Structure 1
Amino acid sequence: MTFKDLGVREEIVETLKKQGIITPTEAQRLAVPKIRQKGDLIFQSQTGTGKTLAYLLPIFEKLKKAPVTQVLIISPTRELAMQIYKVAAKLAETTKDEIALIHGGSDFIKENEKLKKSPSLVIGTPGRLLDHLRRKQLDLSNVNRVVLDEADEILRRGFLEDAELLIKETANDRDILLFSATMPPAVRAISVRYMKNPTEILLKAEEVNLKNIKQEVVDVREETKLDTLCSLINEHNPYLALVFCRTKEKAASVALELSKRGYLADELHGDLTQAQRKHALEEFRQAKLQILVATDLAARGLDIEGVTNVYNYDLPIDAESYIHRIGRTGRGGKEGLSVTFATQKEYDKLRKIEGAIRGRLSKTHEKESRKRLKQKIAEKQKKASEKNAEGKKFPKKFSAKKDKPKKPLSRAAKKSKRLGVSRGKGRK
C-alpha cells in the first residue's frame, strides 16, 4: 500500500517522497482512515511506529482556512514537541497552514507573538500551554481535535491534570486522539471522562528474547563514562555496536569524541536530515562504521543484522525503553551483549527495570573493565615478547585498534578533522 492508496493528497505524497518516506507503516495504514472520520480514538503502540504522521496527515487534510486554532497537540516533553513540530512544519510548507510550537525554555514573548496570529495547529507541553491560556494568550474554544501524544509519559511526568485542564477549554464536540505505549488506569480514565465510544487500535509490541542477551551493569561516574565506554569497546571489540544516549546533544557529543579517539563512529538522532540518517544507517549496515550512537526515538524500529553489542551510555527512562534498546542485539538465535552504565543515584531506577524484566543484572565497577583491558594487553605483549624471542617479527606494542580502511569520513569524523584532531586508528 502507498500513501496515495491511503487517499493522501498528491502534493503531500510528493512532500513525503522528498523526505524519503515512501511506504506507510502499519500504524499509518490503520490510523489514517479512522482519524479522517469524526470520533475519538485510542491508539496503543510503542514509540517509533510512525504514529506522528499517522495523526498529522488526516489532521492537515481537515484544517480550515480560518483564523482560529483548530487542533491542539499535547506532548510530555519539549524534545518530543520539537520533533512533532519538525514533521508538521514540512507538511505546513505544502498546505500553507500556520502552526506554532509552545514549550518551556522557549522565548515567552515570541511564543505570544505566534499565538496572536491564531495558528490553525498548536503543539506544546502542558505547563507552558497553561501559562499562555491563563494569560488569555491562547484561545482553545474552537479546537475540535486534541491529540495526547505519549499519554502514559504525560501521566508519568505528573502532567495529566494539566492536560485535562486544557481539554476542558476546547469545544464540547471535539475529538480526542489518545496515543500511548501503555494504558495505565489513570490514562484509561480519560476515555471515560472525555470520550464517547472511542475506536481502539492496538499494535502489539515487539517481542524480545532476553535469553540470548548477556546483560551487565557497570557502576560509573558521569565524568568517567566516555573513558569506560572506550575501555569496554577495546575489550569487547564488537562487530557492530549501538550506543544509546538520552538526548540528541549527548549522542552528537559522544559520537564526536569517539571519532576523535579513532573509532569508526557516527550519530543517529532527530536533528539529522532524512538523507543523513539514511547514510549513517547504510554505513552501519555495511559495517563501514563500527559504532552508531543513537537516541531512543531515532533508533525505534531499527532492525540491523549483526549488532553484537548494545551500550546504554545513559540509563533508559523505563523498562520498555531498556528492553527495546537491548533487543537490537541477540537476534536470529545469535548471542548478544548489553552493558548499561548506571551512577549511584540511578540505582533506584535500575531496580525498577530489574523488577520489570524479573531478573538481577550482573554488576561490575568501571575499574574492573579497565583492569580486564590491561590484563588483555599484558597477555598480548607477553605473547609478542615470546615470539620476538623466537626470532619472529611481531609488533613491539599491542594496539587495541587496527588501521582503518580508507573511506569517506562520517559527520563526527569531519567535525573532529575541522577541529584539527587526528582520527588515529579504527576497529580491531
Structure 2
Amino acid sequence: MTTFAALGLSDALLHTLRELGYDEPTPIQAQAIPLLLAGRDVIAQAQTGTGKTAAFALPMIEQVTDEPVVQALVLAPTRELAVQVAEAVHRYGRHRALRVLPIYGGQPIERQLRGLAQGVQVVVGTPGRVLDHLRRGTLRFDHLRLVVLDEADEMLDMGFAEELEAILQLTPAERQTALFSATLPPAVQSLTLRYTRQPVRVSIAAEQLTTPHIRQIYYEILARDKLDALCRVLDAEMPQLAIVFCRTRQEVDEIGERLQGRGYAAESLHGDLSQAVRDRVMRRFREGQLDVLVATDVAARGLDIAEVSHVINYDVPTDPESYVHRIGRTGRAGRAGVAITFITPRERRMLQTIERVTRTRIERCQMPTLADVAARRRLALRDQLREAMQAPGLTSYMDLLDELTVEHDLRTLAAAALKLLLNETETEQVDTITRLEPPRSEQVERGERSSRARRAAVDERPTRRESGMARIRLNLGRNDQIRPADIVGAIANEAGLSGRSIGAIEVQARMSLVDVPRRSVRQVLQALNRTTLRGQRVRAVLVSEEVVVA
C-alpha cells in the first residue's frame, strides 16, 4: 500500500495532510505526484471525485517558493471549480501561509486587481477572466513555473479553445504543464501535442471510475410518473442534501418549481442564471437552507460539498462519463452516498451500457410505497425523540404530561403526540405511482404520448390536504405573475416554516390557496400580511370553513 511519505512529499506537508485526515493517496495521486515532483509534464485521465485536485496541488505547493510572484496557474472551466481548487490549495499549503487568488467572471474585478497587486504565488481562474487580466497587464507570467489545465475536456466543450490557446502562448516555453481530463477526445489530444513536452500519461482503470462508498440503484418507471416518483424517493430517503440532475435547463426550471410547489426546499441551478443568482443558490445549498438542488451537468461541475448524501438522475445520462461525473457529487471525503437513477422501459439499454463501461452493477429496486415512507418517518422520529430525551429543557413538558395523565392513559397520550408530530391520517391513501410493469407494445407507447396533454392537466391537480392543515387564501394569483415558489419562499422566509411543512398550493387567476400546519396559522397570516409578492402587497385570510380536523 502506497503512502504519502513514499511519494516524496516534505515532512511539513505530510504533517498538514495528517491534520486534515488524509491517510493514503488515491490511485491518481500515487501516479501523478512523483512525476510532477520530478518536473515531468503529465496528462492525467481522471474523473471528478478521484482526488485529482490534490494530485496536482500537493506537488505545486512543494515547488512554489515564498517569493510573492505568480509561479503557478490553474485553469478551470467554471467559477465553482476555480473557487474549490483555490480553497484546496490554500488548505493544503496552510503550513506555509501560501497566497492563492481565484479570479473569475461575475466577481468585481477591483478585488482581483488588489489581490494581484499585493502579490500572490498561485492563481486559479477561468480562461476568460485570466486572459482579461493578461491583456490588461495586471497578470504577468515572468516567473511562471507550472500550468495546470483542470477539466480540460469541459473547458473545450464550453467553447474556451481560443482563450486556452491565447493563454498558453503567453506562458514561458520552459514551464511544466499538467493536464487533467475526464476524457481525452481529439481536441484535448491536439492541445497536449502542441503545449506539452514529452508528457507522461497516467489514468485510472475503468473499475476505479466509481467509488465503493456509493450505493448505486435504479427504478424503472413510466415517464409520466417521474415527478411523483422523485417526491416519493425524497420522502422515503430523507436525504441530508440531494442533487437532482436533469438534461436541459428548461427541465431544471420546471422540476425545481414543481418541487417548490409541493413544499420541498428546492432551487434550480443552470448556466442561464446570473452569477449573483448562482452564488446565492450555492450559498443556501452549502449552508443547508435547501434540501434539494436541481441542476444541469455543467452547472454542477466542480461542486464539492461533502454533505451531499444523494444524487438522483431524473434523466438517464447520455454517456457513461456523465454518469460517473454526476454520481461523484456524493460519497465525498470517505462518506457513504446513494446514487439513484430513473429509467423508462426504453432506456434499459442505456443503463446496460453504463454498467458495462464502468464495470459496475447498478441494483434494481422497487419504488417505495406510501407505507414505506410512513415507516421511514416513524424511524426518523424515533431517533429524534431519543436525542431529545438526552437534551435539557424537558421540565415544562413534564408538567404538562403530569396534568394530562390525570385524565388519560400515558400510552394513549404518547401515541396521540406521535401522530400529531407525524401529521398522519388514518384515511387510506391511493398510491398513484405505477408499479414496475412489463414492457408495453409500441402501440401502447404511442397511445400514451397522444394523451400526454390530458395527463399533464391531471398532474396539475391540487394535492389532497392532510390532517392538521388549514387553508389560507391570498389576494394574488396567476394574473399577478405569482408562482408556487413565490408563496413557499414567502412563508419559509417570513414565517420561519420549513418548505416541507407547507401543504398543497393552488394558484388561480386572481387568488391563491395554500395549506399550512394548523398550529402555525397565526404566525403565517401575520408574516404574509407584512410582506409583498412580486412588488404587490399581500392580503391573506383564513378560509375557516375549509379547516381539516384531525
TM-score for the superposition, normalised by structure 2: 0.50
> Which residue pairs with 1:229 in the alignment?
230
> Which residue pairs with 1:85 in the alignment?
86
Cα distance, 1:25 vs. partner?
A: 0.9
> Which residue pairs with 1:74 in the alignment?
75
Contact 1:76-1:125 within 8 A present in 2 as well: yes
Q: Separation in 2 of the partners of 1:104 and 1:322?
A: 28
> Which residue pairs with 1:22 in the alignment?
23
The letter of the residue matching 1:339 is: F
Other structure's SS at 2:105 match: coil
> Which residue pairs with 1:61 in the alignment?
62
| Matching of residues 21-170 of structure 1 within 5 Å | 21-170=22-171
| Matching of residues 366-377 of structure 1 within 5 Å | none
Contact 1:243-1:312 within 8 A present in 2 as well: no
> Which residue pairs with 1:244 in the alignment?
243
Q: 2:396 matched to 1:419?
A: no
> Which residue pairs with 2:173 in the alignment?
172
The change in CA–CA distance for 1:317 and 1:148 in structure 2 (over 3 A counts) is: farther
Q: Separation in 2 of the partners of 1:242 and 1:338?
A: 16
The change in CA–CA distance for 1:212 and 1:90 in structure 2 (over 3 A counts) is: closer
> Which residue pairs with 1:339 in the alignment?
342
Cα distance, 1:291 vs. partner?
A: 9.9
Contact 2:77-2:155 within 8 A present in 1 as well: yes
Cα distance, 1:193 vs. partner?
A: 1.0
The letter of the residue matching 2:177 is: I
| Matching of residues 294-333 of structure 1 within 5 Å | 311-312=312-313, 319-323=320-324, 325=326
For residues 229-261 of structure 1, give each alpha carbon's deviation from its aligned partner in whole angstroms, at most 9, with x where no partner exists: 324555xx46989943469xx9xx99x989986
Deviating above 6 A after TM superposition, structure 1's stretches of 4 or more consecutive aligned residues are 239-242, 256-262, 269-272, 290-296, 298-302, 326-329, 353-356
Task: Answer 1 or 2: higher relative contact order, Cα 8 Å, separation at least 6.
Answer: 1
Question: Taking every aligned residue pair, what percent have the same amino acid on both sides?
Answer: 32
The letter of the residue matching 1:86 is: E
| Matching of residues 178-189 of structure 1 within 5 Å | 178-189=179-190
For residues 303-355 of structure 1, give each alpha carbon's deviation from its aligned partner in whole angstroms, at most 9, with x where no partner exists: x9xx9xx62258869652225547999xxxxxx962279xxxxxxxx9xx899
Cα distance, 1:57 vs. partner?
A: 0.6
Cα distance, 1:301 vs. partner?
A: 11
Larger radius of gyration: 2
Q: Separation in 1 of the partners of 2:5 and 2:261?
A: 43
The change in CA–CA distance for 1:297 and 1:173 in structure 2 (over 3 A counts) is: closer
> Which residue pairs with 2:487 in the alignment?
none
Q: Which runs of 5+ in 2 are unaligned?
A: 211-215, 247-251, 266-280, 332-338, 357-366, 389-491, 502-550
The change in CA–CA distance for 1:53 and 1:191 in structure 2 (over 3 A counts) is: same
The change in CA–CA distance for 1:315 and 1:358 in structure 2 (over 3 A counts) is: closer
Contact 1:216-1:338 within 8 A present in 2 as well: no
Contact 2:84-2:302 within 8 A present in 1 as well: no
| Matching of residues 204-223 of structure 1 within 5 Å | 204-206=205-207, 213-215=218-220, 218=223
The change in CA–CA distance for 1:19 and 1:354 in structure 2 (over 3 A counts) is: same
Other structure's SS at 1:321 match: helix
Root mean square deviation of aligned Cα: 5.1
The change in CA–CA distance for 1:90 and 1:170 in structure 2 (over 3 A counts) is: same
How many residue pairs align between the two structures? 336
Other structure's SS at 1:171 match: coil
TM-score for the superposition, normalised by structure 1: 0.63
Other structure's SS at 1:81 match: helix
